[in-house]
């Protein structure tokens, strides 16, 4: 789900009454970054507090190294029941020994977990499957395709608009799931003393979003409610990374974050809706392990509050995935058809699958990352400074660029 795709998050066309009321009762953090815009590595990072290469969960569908500790260990040792309902997509179980409540969102079992022992604190992850492709839940008829506003990096075809009605409908379906969980907390008197967080994960399964390091891929939104502690109705643009959540939870629970956790507790940011936390956030992406990947496409990035540098390590390869090769979602083929006669569509299709080695964006002037400034002399010093920081982070992570890609291929048995 792209970071802005809810009423309270910036897209008033999408019906999300439950998320909207959660945001009104808490604070919204608009710049929560995953390091990689894929489901599995993001969840690993969320639960273990490490970046993907460090934990071993670099490609999609990867497993963390044995001996890695996660939220289930850290909060379990502090006396918490730690449960997960819904999507798992991580492993091995020794690293993530959650109490598995249900594979889908079984609200009776979720309620039993919440109410089981009022004297013992709990930590509960409710992991919705929505709005992951295929977009087939909810009622698309509530959205009028012709009246939707498209992002500037989308090709305006009937198929694109129809796909968006299904995507929006699935977000509304997910919002109902959120409402049911919030109602369970309220029913059992746990709504006020529970730190309740909603996180959008990575961007939608569409071009220039999921599987990329553009903001529409790696940037998320976080909504946080903790009655009487987190201010209501506030918004913060502090740069956050998703591995900052685990040390925050440990601190909230009365513990001391372990030194191996790479995230930085953001508790003070939550409690005061502060606008500063990190100076930069990092991105690391690979197409190894994703469905319909034809060639490895490793990407690295670094971003501060204004500028982003993207480094495509194998720009000679073609970027491919289930959307570009299998028309999953039902719209990219219409982009190719339009590209045969339309220069704008042709440029977008080409840019999605073939990119230069370096991309550099001024996010203040160009939030949709449409104009690559990498070759302009006036940005040479800025690019050099960010690249130096990025290379130092890669070295610290044990990320050797293309060698890391080859190791990922070997771990995938290819």
Q: What is the pLDDT of residue 408?
A: 79
pLDDT at 279 over 70: yes
pLDDT (average), residues 57-74: 95
Q: How many CA atoms lie within 13 A of 38 on its CB side?
A: 27
pLDDT (average), residues 149-169: 98
Contact 408, 286 (CB under 8 A): yes
> Among residues 33, 126, 141, 45, which one has the least CA distance to residue 88?
126
Query: pLDDT digits over 386-413, tens only?
Result: 999 999 999 999 999 988 888 877 776 6
Give the DSSP letter string of 72-89.
HHHHHTTT-EEEEEE---
Query: pLDDT digits over 241-275, tens only?
Result: 999 999 999 999 999 999 999 999 999 999 998 88
Contact 353, 317 (CB under 8 A): no
Beta strand spans in 340-394 (E): 358-362
Query: pLDDT digits over 198-252, tens only?
Result: 999 999 999 999 999 999 999 999 999 999 999 999 999 999 999 999 999 999 9
> Among residues 69, 191, 209, 64, which one has the least CA distance to residue 132?
209
The secondary structure of residue 144, as a DSSP letter, is -
401 vs 162, higher pLDDT: 162
Superfamily of domain 7-278: Alkaline Phosphatase, subunit A (3.40.720.10)
Q: pTM score, two decimals?
A: 0.96
Q: What is the pLDDT of residue 413?
A: 60
Helix or strand (DSSP H, E) at 309: strand 307-312
pLDDT at 414 over 50: no
Helix (H) and strand (E) counts for the chain? 14, 12
Report the Cα 8 to chain-centroid distance in Å. Answer: 17
**Spatial separation of the C-alpha atoms in residues 206 and 229, rounded to whole Å:** 37
CB atoms within 10 A of CB 258: 13
**Spatial separation of the C-alpha atoms in residues 243 and 245, rounded to whole Å:** 5
Q: Which residue has the tokens 């959660």?
A: 22
pLDDT at 367 over 60: yes
Q: What is the pLDDT of residue 412?
A: 65
pLDDT at 27 over 50: yes
The strand pair at 122-127 and 196-199 is best described as: unpaired
Residue 61 is encoded by which pair of tokens?
């569908």
pLDDT (average), residues 123-149: 97
pLDDT (average), residues 330-344: 98
3-state secondary structure of 11: coil
Q: What is the pLDDT of residue 410?
A: 77
pLDDT at 29 over 70: yes
Mean pLDDT for the chain overall: 96
What pLDDT band is residue 289 in, cutting at 50, 70 and 90?
Answer: confident
Whole-number percent of the chain with pLDDT over 70: 99
Q: How many CA atoms lie within 13 A of 360 on its CB side?
A: 16
Q: What is the pLDDT of residue 132?
A: 96
pLDDT at 286 over 50: yes
All CATH 3.40.720.10 domain ranges in the chain, comma separated: 7-278
């Amino acid at each position: 789900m792209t970071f802005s795709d809810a009423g309270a998050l910036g897209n008033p066309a999408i019906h999300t009454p439950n998320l909207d009321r959660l945001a009104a009762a808490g604070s919204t953090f608009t710049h929560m970054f995953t390091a990689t815009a894929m489901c599995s590595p993001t969840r690993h990072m969320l639960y273990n507090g490490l970046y993907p290469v460090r934990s071993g969960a670099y490609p999609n569908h990867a497993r963390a190294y044995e001996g890695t500790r996660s939220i289930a260990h850290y909060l379990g040792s502090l006396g918490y029941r730690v449960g997960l309902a819904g999507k798992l997509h991580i492993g091995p179980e020794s690293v993530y020994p959650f109490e598995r409540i249900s594979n889908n969102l079984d609200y009776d079992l979720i309620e039993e977990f919440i109410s089981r022992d009022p004297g013992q604190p709990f930590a509960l992850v409710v992991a919705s499957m929505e709005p992951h492709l295929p977009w087939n839940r909810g009622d698309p008829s509530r959205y009028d395709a012709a009246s939707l506003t498209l992002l500037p990096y989308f090709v305006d075809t009937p198929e694109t608009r129809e796909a968006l009605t299904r995507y929006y409908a699935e977000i509304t379906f997910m919002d109902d799931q959120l409402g049911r969980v919030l109602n369970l907390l309220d029913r059992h008197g746990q709504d006020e003393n529970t730190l309740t967080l909603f996180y959008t994960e990575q961007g939608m399964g569409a071009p220039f979003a999921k599987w990329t390091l553009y903001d529409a891929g790696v940037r998320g939104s976080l909504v946080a409610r903790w009655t009487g502690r987190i201010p209501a109705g506030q918004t913060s643009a502090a740069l956050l990374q998703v591995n900052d959540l685990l040390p925050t939870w440990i601190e909230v629970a009365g513990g001391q974050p372990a030194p191996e956790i790479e995230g930085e507790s953001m508790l003070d940011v939550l409690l005061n809706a502060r606008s500063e936390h990190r100076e930069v956030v990092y991105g690391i992406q690979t197409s190894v392990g994703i469905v319909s990947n034809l060639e490895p496409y490793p990407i690295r990035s670094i971003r501060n509050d204004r500028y982003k540098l993207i480094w495509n390590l194998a720009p000679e390869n073609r970027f491919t995935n289930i959307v570009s090769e299998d028309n999953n979602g039902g719209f990219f083929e219409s982009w190719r058809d339009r590209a045969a006669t339309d220069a704008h569509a042709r440029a977008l299709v080409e840019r999605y699958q073939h990119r230069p080695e370096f991309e550099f964006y001024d996010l203040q002037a160009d939030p949709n990352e449409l104009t690559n400034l990498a070759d302009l002399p006036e940005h040479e010093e800025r690019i050099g400074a960010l690249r130096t920081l990025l290379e130092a982070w890669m070295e610290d992570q044990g990320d050797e660029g293309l060698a890391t890609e080859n190791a990922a291929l070997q771990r995938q048995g290819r």
